[in-house]
Chain A
Amino acid sequence: MASLHIDKHEKRWITISMVLLAAFAVLIGVAGFALGVQVPTLDQKIDPAKLDQDPEWSNPGVREIVPGKKYEVFIIAQTWQFTPREIVVPAGAKVTFYVTSRDIQHGFKVLDTDLNVQVIPGYVGKLSYTFKKPGEYKFICTEYCGLGHAAMFGVIKVVPPEEYGQ
């Protein structure tokens, strides 16, 4: 049986590739599981036709959990708008977003952050972020959802903690 013949330069090249691959794997693992750069997770499944009957979802928006520290934001995407379109949170607080769709697939991406979730009817995506700097952050629909898709967006207003609630 003929054995595998690999040129010595190519052997070296493949070794380098493998080291590179191992380095990527470790770095991604560290970023994802140690430094907390996390992908969105599932909060719960919910029938999109029954959102209005759900106590949590019949009135989407901001909930204050610990003043100045912890907030929850419920957002419903539907053709071709987000509810609510405007969200106000204080800088420096941990904000957890719960996002779902009333009808078809949408996207939810907050510019200048790594907040990004595929909005899937029937599924509630959960993702968190701490806005350090006050300012306006636009969130946009990143999934094709019909003729009005390009106009579907909203704004998160991040205000200094002392101004929040005034």
Chain B
Amino acid sequence: MQNEYTLTRAEKRFIGWHLFVAISALAIGSFYGPMQAFNYAGWNFYPLLRKLYIARSYYQGLTLHGVLNAVVWTTFFILGFLTFNMIYGLKRPLKYPKLNAFGFWMMVVGVLLAAYYILANKASVLYTFYPPMQAPWPFYLGLVLLVVGSWIEGYGFYFTLHQWKKDNPGVRTPFIAFASVATMVLWQLATLGVAIEALFMLLPWSAGLVKGIDIQLARTFFWWFGHPLVYFWLLPAYLSWYGYLPRQAGGKLFSDTMARLAFWLFILLSVPVGFHHQFVDPGVAPGWKYIHALLTLSVVIPSLMTLFTVVASLEYAGRQRGGKGLMGWLTALPWDDPIVASQLLGGILFIFGGFGGIVNASYNTNLILHNTAWVPGHFHLTVSTAVTLTFMGISFWLVPYITGRELCCRKVALWMVYLWFIGMSIFSQAMHSLGLLGAPRRTPLGEAPYIPPEWSGLLLRVGIGGIFLLIAVYMYIWIMVHTAFFAKKAEKEVEIQVAEAMTDVQAVPEWLDAWKPWLVGAVALLIVAYTPVLIDLISGMVPVAAPAMKLW
């Protein structure tokens, strides 16, 4: 089948640059993850890495792993993928391509600036950069440029959608474009928190303009951003699950309407939830923690809606493929197609990520697991499996589309996807268990003197998971390098498999294609959920200075 629309070479190249930065970051950042897992298992490579100038400490490696994987890989991949969805979904170029290019290069400058200070071991402050640990001010400036650059790319999307709506009155926005703009709107609301922290607290303080800042206040602004950040990672994966996966699996999208409703609910509910990361912070009153716990739990609704719609779409696909009986549709799905398998496997582990998320969000059970190995165990199921495997699946068609080459080594791609799934299952299960026993996160447990011998079996399993993941991630990088630069030129353009909805898209109610009421609701909820606590904290600030010595 012929694609209904074709991107220009310049547009493809622009998206390709996003993916290039994303995958380069993944290639570097992912090296350090397994090194941490190996340290847990007692295989300590840090003395060697120190000699080779690859990592000065566990924590420098951890900072690189967190920033490059969780921030750079995700943000750049997402913006590249969403740019594609805007153009292809609306079948028109971006309204101001130069504005988007400006945003992109601002992000690149920001990343390079921050990366320099991390690589020079001047900013081993992890990707949460909690004060009063202090990095040099250009590090924070780099983060600000990254965030503001991403906003500008988002504004480019808004202008493009606005023009499209003007030219197509009464027509429902195509789902993939709608979901792209929705993701950027969520990102805008979320990043306001961290932007305030960086611009008004961290920058002036690290530049020496103010002596001290209030640490509880800084944490509160950070977590205003820190949780919706995970929905910024997830929504593009959901875009693929709703917008592409049904067709890639051989079926249709079960309900376009419910897909949109889920996105709106995420915009509404996923931002005012930050205190569930601060349940054990002394400076936030318990009542407010409880309210945020309820708001966090209400995100269960759009999450379970997504589960229903995606599974219903897949069941339809499986039955179209000849699957019979209660579960026959499941085995009939194309598990041997790396594009589909990556998303299915990511989705399976995401179910467990969801269960864990409910435990994290619960006001009382969080006491057991706050800042333990449970937490990285949890988010390696969500961002590092559901999101990352889905992004890898997307890259298996998007990179060939951009470079005009065939996906190199399909079999390797398929193996890689399953290895990732197995490795992450082993790793994450052991991390959850360690967390329940009380093992702290972000700690080289291989060197910690308080580790009881009973934990050694679990620590070993963390290392074994790391072996699978180290192999899998470099298989992926190898596939990408070959697909981008060396693979056979394809005879025709990759077919873009946007899923058709089972129902008429025009039957989507108007209020599900109207931005104003939802945005007003989201901002109002954000104000209600944060204003009293912020007023309380700001009116009683305790300024704290940076420590006198370098701590890493």
Contact = CB atoms under 8 A, between A and B. Distances in A.
Interface in A105-159: 105, 107, 109, 111-112, 114-118, 120-126, 138, 140-147, 149-151, 153
Contact of B300 (A21, A103, A140, A141): A21
B281 interface: yes
B440 A141 contact: yes
B547 A118 contact: no
Contact of A2 (B214, B215, B508): B508
B255 A142 contact: no
Contacts, number: 209
A18 B294 CA distance: 12
B361 to A, nearest CB: 9
Interface string B42-64: 00000000000000010100100
Interface stretch (B21-29, B366-374, B488-496): B366-374
A47 interface: yes
B453 interface: no
Contact of A39 (B215, B257, B289, B298): B289
A45 B284 CA distance: 12
A14 B304 contact: yes
A79 interface: yes
Given A104-B133, A116-B370, A142-B370, A109 B438 contact: yes
Contact of A32 (B290, B545, B551): B290
Contacts of A43: 282
Interface residues of A, number: 67
Contacts of B363: 28, 31-32, 39
A116 B366 CA distance: 9
Contacts of B171: none
A5 B219 CA distance: 42
Nearest to B373: A142
- Residue among A17, A105, A111, A150 facing the most chain B CB atoms (10 A cut-off): A150
A123 B283 contact: yes
A42 B282 contact: yes
Given A24-B362, A120-B216, A143-B130, A112 B280 contact: no
A27 B192 CA distance: 33
Interface of A: 1-7, 9-10, 13-14, 17-18, 20-21, 24-25, 28-29, 31-33, 37-43, 45-49, 79, 103-105, 107, 109, 111-112, 114-118, 120-126, 138, 140-147, 149-151, 153
Interface of B: 57, 59, 62, 126, 130-133, 214-216, 219, 254-255, 257-258, 261, 278-283, 285-286, 289-290, 293-294, 297-298, 300-301, 304-305, 308-309, 312, 358, 362-364, 366-368, 370-372, 437-438, 440-445, 447-450, 503, 506-510, 512, 540, 542-545, 547, 551-552
Closest 7 CB pairs of A and B: A146-B551, A122-B542, A125-B282, A142-B371, A142-B440, A111-B438, A114-B367
